[in-house]
């Protein structure tokens, strides 16, 4: 006669349930792969990162010793372009004080070197916006900082951080 071993019905269901809980607990939880609409701030952050990468690539092409002069050169180009566009819109003749002469900022060898560095068309304008917004420096202060005729070799941010013209290459960028 064979002895038949029987498993109680309630015990087997309990084991099955415990086994299922262990399996689900061990699996990694992943969110559904549903694309979410991006809001305006996310789009602007993505655009800012893209500009930052392009701008940083340009800055990295300049030797560290010349970076401060290169940044001042590009900022002066952006200020000149901004002031020229504003004067053309209003029909006024530009005040000489509003335009920076790159020959006063750089020696001729640096000017030739900086003009040969490949930049994208918006580089100088993006640099100006970065300095103005991120470092919170007013355009008038940037102008006096760049102008060789000015007696302001030191510039201070709204946070109270001050630096000299030659230190600017270390503080600036990526933008």
Q: Is the pLDDT of residue 9 over 60?
A: no
- Burial status of residue 169 (CB atoms within 10 A of its CB: 0-12, 13-18, 19 or more): buried
d(CA 126, CA 154): 23
Closest by CA position to 58, among listed 43, 41, 77: 77
Of the chain, the percentage scoring pLDDT greater than 90 comes to 3
In the block, tokens 């930052």 appear at 52
pLDDT of residue 96: 42
Q: State residue 148 phi and psi, 5-degree precision.
A: -65, -25
Rg of the chain over Cα atoms, rounded to whole angstroms, equals 31
d(CA 31, CA 38): 17
pLDDT tens-digit map of 61-108: 888 888 888 888 888 888 888 765 554 555 544 444 445 565 566 777
């Amino acid at each position: 006669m064979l002895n038949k071993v029987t498993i109680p019905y309630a015990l087997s269901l309990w084991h099955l349930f415990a086994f299922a809980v262990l399996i689900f607990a061990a699996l990694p939880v992943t969110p559904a792969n549903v694309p979410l609409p991006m809001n305006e701030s996310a789009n602007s952050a993505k655009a800012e990162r893209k500009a930052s990468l392009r701008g940083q690539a340009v800055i990295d092409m300049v030797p560290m010793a010349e970076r401060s002069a290169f940044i001042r050169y590009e900022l002066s180009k952006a200020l000149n372009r901004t002031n020229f566009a504003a004067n053309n819109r209003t029909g006024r003749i530009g005040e000489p004080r509003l335009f920076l002469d790159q020959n006063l900022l750089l020696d001729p060898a640096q000017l030739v070197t900086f003009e040969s560095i490949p930049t994208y068309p918006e580089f100088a304008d993006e640099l100006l916006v970065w300095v103005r917004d991120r470092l919170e420096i007013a355009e008038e202060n940037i102008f006096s900082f760049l102008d060789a005729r000015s007696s302001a070799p030191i510039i201070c941010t709204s946070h109270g951080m001050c630096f000299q013209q030659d230190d600017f290459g270390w503080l600036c960028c990526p933008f």
